[in-house]
Amino acid sequence: MSLDTKKGRVLDVGKAAGVDISGANATVGEVAAPKTFFSVAPPVKTGTMANVALIPTSPAYPAGYHAGNPGGLPAIDPDLNPANILAGIVIFGVTGTAFLYNRFFPEWFSSSKALAVVPVDKTIGKNAGLTRSYVGVYDSSPGDMVYTNKPVFASAKSADVIHVDQSVPPKNAPFTSGFEAVMVVDGGVAHDDPVDTDDTAHAQSAAANDMPLLPAAPLVLDAYGFGGTSMFDAVDLNIGTAGIGVWTIVAKYWNGAAWFPLAGVVDGTVGFTLSGTHRISFTRPVADWALKNIATHNLYWIWMEVTIITPPITTQPKGTQAWLVKTS
């Protein structure tokens, strides 16, 4: 209640100067900012601001208010996810990982069995394997796409026999298809613990033996890093001078806190000890692979780190050029 000091009487709660405001129940959160409002005369005002929703099938952005969603925009449209956004593109805070398909990228097909012709005696003879392939050429220009010896179309020989009591031959193994893109690395770093040296220009060029894959006198924790602006699945490395010595190299990635061993590693370079172009493949750690800024390059890195070594070494390994590989 309130006191009217002039008249000396008590006014009813919810009334001011004879105006009933007891039915006004709007809150500041229900009125568009910065508008002000008063309930100074009956009847009670009813808001007209529409409650709108974002619709995944429409680009419209209607006026009004909405209640929000604790899952954010991806909860409204699940298609807003990294796999549907080009690598390097960020849309409403979602960073894309998808690689743009191009008809010039190599595509491959394979099958484990050859189709056979059944002669009159119902015996399937041994068939020659099916093969089809062509060879691509590496483009040494930094940043350009390159491709390897794919696609291929291949099949192992078949020796299946259909007996008289069989009506159909056994099923052949399914065909599989996919593509891979190969491009020069976005970053290269020679690590002579604890010093990081930017070696990107050497890793991208075709000049022979200009990449110090390990220091001349390597020690434990020395490494070479290959980086990309987006996640990748392998590194193709052309080694001009194979290393000779006793050491163990472990492929690692940065998980946001430390260098951690990669899973599924197949090191075709055998720790930088084979000359020529070989592939270092691994299982892409999509759950926690994090960007790391090394020698001014903020990239996704794999770190070929020396973990065991018996010095001195006989020959320092040197590289010629490196490429990142992304597969479907």
**Which residue ranges does the chain devote to CATH 2.60.120?**
187-327
pLDDT on residue 174: 54
What pLDDT shows up at residue 32? 79
In this prediction, residue 117 carries a pLDDT of 45
Q: What is the Cα–Cα distance from 234 to 236, expressed in whole angstroms?
A: 7
Cβ within 8 Å of residue 91, ≥6 positions away: 80, 85
CA distance 182 to 310: 35
- pLDDT of 255: 95
Low-confidence ranges of the chain (pLDDT < 50): 1-3, 5-6, 8-14, 16, 103-170
Reduced to 3 states (helix: H, G, I; strand: E, B; else coil), residue 204 is helix
CA atoms of 87 and 324, how far apart (whole Å)? 14
pTM of full prediction above 0.85 = no
CA distances from 142 to 13, 138, 299 (A): 79, 11, 16
pLDDT of 62: 83
Cα 65 from Cα 241, distance rounded (Å):
66
Instruction: Locate 267 and state its tokens.
Output: 């090191």
CATH number for domain 187-327, candidates 1.10.4100, 2.60.120, 1.10.1390, 3.30.1360: 2.60.120
Confidence (pLDDT) at 172: 53
CA distance 250 to 199: 20
Q: Six-digit token pair at 323?
A: 């490429």
What pLDDT does residue 41 have? 65
